[in-house]
Amino acid sequence: MSIQFQGAIRRCFLQTRTVGFPRFASSTSSKLWLKRQSKDPFVKLRAQDVYRSRSAYKLLEIDDKYRVLRQARTIVDLGAAPGGWSEAAARRTRQYMGRRNQPVIEDDESLDSTLRYDRSTSRIAIVAVDLLPIASIPGVHTIQGDFLSPQTQAQVTSVLDGRPVDVVLSDMCENMSGNRDRDSESSLQLCLAAFSFAKTHFEQTNRLRDPRRGVLIMKYFAHPDLDEFHKGIKPMFRRLEVFKPKSSRSDSSEVYLVCIGWKGGA
């Protein structure tokens, strides 16, 4: 890892950012958004079942293609509110475990008990973190706090209680300002923060020499400024793909970095 890249990671923690939803500048843009929503097939799908957000389908598409959740036992979802990705991960891993007839955690109480007292890799633990409150999700332990803060990261570490992390998810996005350079910089800072969090936990995982662990999935907005970040982390994973789900709006520049198989690096 270059000194410049390491410096960028350190700088990303100098200020805490708030993750939230886009703000609309006018009633006209709000009407356009509502019109687009009414025609969106994935919004209609969400209305037909119990997924709490459209974004759930993005993670399911990623897993359909890369099977990143198939072997996952411990998953941390950063910037998780309202909980669509955590919900999708809980359902999908439950399906995988059901096929193997292995135990699945069903509520916060049993999850916390498993994390603290039973580190058996036959059980699944999902931890969701966000500044905003997250309504209860079966099989998911929620933490309300800014994951960029040392206090919240310490809380996550305490909840995991030494359990190795298999997958780190980040569908985070700041309020869009409309300024492409500023929004790109915000996206980069969140990616750096997610990577730094994942690196800390994957280093522990790597010591266990388990090749199924060490997956990082994060959203970013395509921009030349992010090329250095992409190049900087690529050698640290066995496989790195850029993926745009069909459920991602065609007019959006958002894409996902799917990083599989942590190798580590200097």
Estimate to the nearest angstrom the gap between the alpha carbon of 48 and the chain centroid: 24
Main-chain dihedrals φ then ψ at residue 34, nearest 5 degrees: -65, -40
Residues with Cβ within 8 Å of 63's Cβ and at least 6 positions away in sequence, in order, are: 69, 70, 92
Check if 231 is active-site: no
Please pick, among 39, 58, 219, 231, the residue that the annotation labels catalytic. Answer: 219
For the chain, the C-alpha Rg in angstroms (whole number) is 18
Structure tokens at 196: 């730094």
Residue whose C-alpha is closest to residue 148's, from 206, 200, 184, 213? 200
Task: Look up residue 243 and give its two tokens.
Answer: 């993926």
Is there a contact between 57 and 97 (Cβ–Cβ < 8 Å)?
A: no
**DSSP H or E segment with residue 239:** strand 237-243
Q: Which residues are catalytic?
A: 219
